[in-house]
Structure 1
Amino acid sequence: MELEKRSPAGDPAEPRPRSDAEGCLAVAVRLPVRIVVLVLVVPVRMVWDALVVGGRFLRDTVLRPFGRALAWLGRAVFVWPLVGVWRYVVVPLAKGVAWLGNVLLVVPAVWVHRWVLTPVGQGLAWFLRGVGAVFAAVGRGLYAGLAWLARYLVVVPASWFYAWVLTPVGHALAWCGRGLAWCGRGVLWCGRGVLWCLGMIVTGVGTALYWIARVLLVLPALAVWRWVLTPVGRVLAVIGREVLDAFGHAWRIAGHVSRAVGRFLGTLFRWTVAEPARWVYRSLLTPVGHAVRDTVLRPLAEAARGAGRAARQALASARLSVREARADVRRMLFGGPAKARPVARREPSADEARTLGSSTTALTKD
């Protein structure tokens, strides 16, 4: 009977065994390897984080504005001139060339095709159809004559020669071939016996060589693999796994250390440079700037706006005077504009028109 109650399956209190059970070699290698790797990785991680921060600052402050300036300069120097040349030179020139080609080439070619080539082609087709019909009739006659001559000069003699000469000779040759086949079968059986004997000899020699190679080569190689290479490989695998794990842990720890150092340096920069500069800006420069703005800049701006307003009014009055003088001179030289003649209105006036309150109109009114 068990005195202790087992924890249920999946209980986090019960330690879960690793799939690869750790031995004393892994435990002995892990701590010194992690210490050495941590000492080596921390400076590298800090330098890496410093380079990353510097690269981001350089990208945001130098490279990105410089790239935007280069992009704008490229558009101004290359893209916009090319677009202007394409839009205002190449496209109108291409349209003009297309219109000229249509007028000088397409329209005459269509006219020639419709009114010259088409009638000529139809006439040639009609003539060729007639000539083809004549040649077809002549060809059918020649074919019939040649077929009759070939039948009685080639096919009939060839059939007689095949039936009375080639067939008897073929039968005789087939009888001789069957005899030779029986002889060949006997020779084949003899060859099979010889091959069986040779196969047995080769099989015995091969079996002997196989066992010799197995005893002299395979078994020693298998013993070396099993009792030498496999343990050494396992030891190297444990060491390599521990080194990789140590590098991972060291990189993460170095990241935390680098982040702490960066925060400390940031806080130090803030309290030694940023906060004093902010205090100077808020406590000294801002009041001085406001005083300069209120006592110097605003009066100067008001005076400049007043001077500009007076100059605009003077220019407007001078422009009006010049316009009036020009109108007087035109009136003195050419006279005033002609008055418009009054035109008789066909519609009744407002007094004579029909109103909503009476039933009379302009025609029936006394």
Structure 2
Amino acid sequence: MVDVEKAPGAGPREEPVRRADAEGCLAVAVRIPVRIVALVLVVPVRMVWDALAVVGRFLRDTVLRPVGRALGWLGRALFVWPLVALWRYGVVPLAKGVGRLGNVLLVVPAVWLYRWVLTPAGHVLARFLTWVGAVLAAIGRGLYAGLAWLARYLLVVPGAWLYRWVLTPVGHALARCGRGLAWCCGQVARGVGLVVTGAGFVLYWTVRVLLVLPALAVWRWVLVPVGRALAVVGREVADAVGHAWRIAGHVSRAVGRFLGTLLRWTVVEPVRWVYRSVLTPVGHAVRDAVLRPLAEAGRGAGRAVRQALASARLSVRQARADVRRMLFGEPAERQPVDRREPSAAETRTLGSSTTALTKD
């Protein structure tokens, strides 16, 4: 490999600009008809798309969003707030009560049982099991020693003798027979391998001549040119559709602005003029000539009614007091309670008997 160093001061490599005259005749021949057809087909689609987008935004702002807010508020009022209230004022207090009851009925007795019954019993049982384990370990060690001695002289010693004087000579004989058989099989496999190699060589060249070379020729001289032509056509179609979509956007925007201006000057401006020049003065006149006097009269009537009601309540209160005095007489006056406190002129001292405990 050869390392190519960048020359000092050289900027980043720029992509070569494709010249218009460097394109093939197929691209030039396909471009204009495809762009005309795409423009004729895409302009109505783009205008319908823009109209649907405007209608969708209008429905979203005027219908769907208020309906969604109302449904959200209704859902909160019907589901969220009752569930929150049920959780806060029903489930939580009930759970706290159940928790306290469970603590009193289950946890405290269980802790007492564990501390004063199970723990001492566990200590006693652990000591007993430790003693029993020590005894069983001693018995096990004795049994293990006896069994090990029996196994040594009943199994290991006869097995070693059998392996040394019987199995080893037989194994050597079988190994020699196996090596001879393996040599014979190797010779047979070598012959079979030569036959398979020759057959594979013949099959390889047969497949190469009958399939690979024709397929390669079809790929190189048929599929590649056709693919390049289809790629050019597809690129031109995609460019034409994009160009037509942008042009259709400009056309749709111009049509929309024209329709908006027409709607403004035929509907909005007349309605605004009628509202500003006719309805507003009429509304002000009705407000000043009718509504304000009616409001003042209503407020005056309300004040008169409130004063009449206050006078009636005062008269009823006085009549009740007069009837009570005629039936039961004047109420007895309360006598002042002597709290055994010295007057302001007297002075309380340590030697005087003016305190509450010593004054008689």
**What SS does the aligned partner of 1:334 have?**
coil
Q: Spell out, residue by residue over 1:317-359, the C-alpha distance to the aligned partner (whole angstroms, 9 max, x if none).
A: 444455566667778553344457695466999xxxxxxxxxx
Q: CA deviation at 1:114?
A: 4.1
Q: CA deviation at 1:92?
A: 3.1
**What SS does the aligned partner of 1:17 have?**
coil
Taking the TM superposition and a 5 Å limit, the aligned residue runs for 1:190-339 are: 190-323=184-317, 332-339=329-336
Corresponding residue for residue 123 of structure 2: 125
Q: CA deviation at 1:110?
A: 3.8
Instruction: Return 5+ residue gaps in structure 2 as ranges.
Output: 1-9, 348-360
Corresponding residue for residue 90 of structure 1: 91
Aligned-pair Cα RMSD in Å: 3.4
TM-score, normalised with respect to structure 1 = 0.77
Q: Spell out, residue by residue over 1:106-150, the C-alpha distance to the aligned partner (whole angstroms, 9 max, x if none).
A: 4444444444x24xx51463255246415623x344335434533
Distance 1:131 1:236 in 2: 89
Structure 1 residues 80, 340: closer, same or farther in 2, change over 3 A?
same
Taking the TM superposition and a 5 Å limit, the aligned residue runs for 1:115-154 are: 115=116, 117-118=117-118, 121-123=119-121, 125-126=123-124, 129-130=127-128, 132-134=130-132, 136-137=134-135, 139-154=136-151
Structure 1 residues 89, 204: closer, same or farther in 2, change over 3 A?
closer
Q: CA deviation at 1:182?
A: 5.5
Distance 2:35 2:242 in 1: 9
Structure 1 residues 86, 178: closer, same or farther in 2, change over 3 A?
closer
Which segments of structure 1 move beyond 6 Å, counting only runs of 4 or more? 327-331, 346-349
Q: Spell out, residue by residue over 1:222-271, the C-alpha distance to the aligned partner (whole angstroms, 9 max, x if none).
A: 11111111111111111111111111011111111011001001101111
Structure 1 residues 254, 142: closer, same or farther in 2, change over 3 A?
same
Amino acid at match of 1:64: R
% same residue: 64
Amino acid at match of 1:264: F
Corresponding residue pairs, total: 330
Structure 1 residues 148, 287: closer, same or farther in 2, change over 3 A?
closer
> Which region of structure 1 is more displaced relative to structure 2, 318-327 or 52-61?
318-327
Distance 2:175 2:106 in 1: 83
Q: Spell out, residue by residue over 1:156-196, the C-alpha distance to the aligned partner (whole angstroms, 9 max, x if none).
A: 45555356554233453355346435634xx51x4444433
Amino acid at match of 1:167: R
Corresponding residue for residue 161 of structure 1: 158
Q: CA deviation at 1:219?
A: 1.4
Amino acid at match of 1:67: G
Amino acid at match of 1:33: V
Amino acid at match of 2:164: T
Q: CA deviation at 1:73?
A: 2.0
Distance 1:274 1:24 in 2: 55
Distance 2:24 2:77 in 1: 70
Corresponding residue for residue 169 of structure 2: 172
> Which region of structure 1 is more displaced relative to structure 2, 227-236 or 156-165?
156-165
